[in-house]
Amino acid sequence: MQHQIIRRERDVSFLEKQARLVRVEILKMLSLAGSGHTGGSLSAADIVTVLYFSKMRHRPHEPMWKERDRFILSKGHAAPLLYAVLAMTGYFDISVLKTLRKLGSPLQGHPCSRLLPGVEISTGSLGQGLSVSNGIALGLKLDNLSSRVYCLLGDGEIQEGQVWEAAMTAAHYRLDNLCAIIDLNGLQIDGPVSQVKAIEPVDSKWLAFGWHVIKIDGHNMAEILNSLDEVERVKEKPTVIIAHTIKGKGVSFFEGKVEYHGIAPTKEELMKALKELSEEGG
């Protein structure tokens, strides 16, 4: 038995509703904790919602199911996003979200695989997730499993040299069961990515490293779904989805604001944000 909402995988309105609820849970837990990463958790919410509520094969009641697809949150500081989605798909009770960053909580500031079901690897040191994803993808092939690996990276993160060593390795081993997704929101903790260390042209770089490249609007559910469909048709090479997103997406006064990279909403900001998200949902 797979997770209960797999039957609605092509229902865009359902996915949009779930993404809105994911954002609500992200903001509530961040505000209660008083610390954490708001902007990058919100920017990738639509992508991760589609993966868990639609595309990935996984069993919340059996987290270590051998044939599951794997999700690696390389940008580990977006942990609130992963926690919200795991709770909402049934990996643990949603009430646990209130314990984010509390002493003894399984919900650490960055994901810890030893403490929380559904977390494949502990992440947080940027640049390492794609290398780990390569190893997992190679292992799945050696075991003759059809499972896929999805690795979410931040755009500032791909300034790390290890990412490009991993990109070269994935192409060399023709890891067509691997999909990297770049949350291209244009901002990192120190400012605009283009000013800290320019990464463009991103698409040409990945093409040159031997990857199949797809560019999408990372907030358009139909485009996200279609791109993930395309990934499954690509043979003999890995795929990267370059998802153009907005930092802080979903809350007008967070959107495009670099200062909300690593700042949690105040109680007043939370109430205002929840009102916006409620109005957005009708």
- Hey, where are the domains in the chain? 6-280
> What is the pLDDT confidence band of residue 281, given thresholds at 50, 70 and 90?
low
Helices 12-33, 267-280: crossing angle, 10 deg rounding:
170
Reference 88, options 150, 170, 15; nearest CA is 15
Whether the predicted pLDDT of 4 surpasses 50: no
Structural tokens at position 64 = 């270590």
Whether the predicted pLDDT of 5 surpasses 60: no
pLDDT digits (tens, 9 = 90+) for 139-182: 999 999 999 999 999 999 999 999 999 999 999 999 999 999 99
CA 70 to CA 118: how far, in whole Å?
Answer: 9
Residue 243 near residue 218, CB atoms below 8 Å: yes
pLDDT digits (tens, 9 = 90+) for 225-249: 999 999 999 999 999 999 999 999 9
CB atoms within 10 A of CB 51: 21
Which range (1-5, 59-63, 268-272) has the least confidence? 1-5
CATH homologous superfamily of 6-280: Thiamin diphosphate (ThDP)-binding fold, Pyr/PP domains (3.40.50.970)
pTM as predicted: 0.95
Whether the predicted pLDDT of 212 surpasses 90: yes
Reference 224, options 40, 37, 44, 20; nearest CA is 44
pLDDT score recorded for residue 240: 98
46-71 average pLDDT score? 96
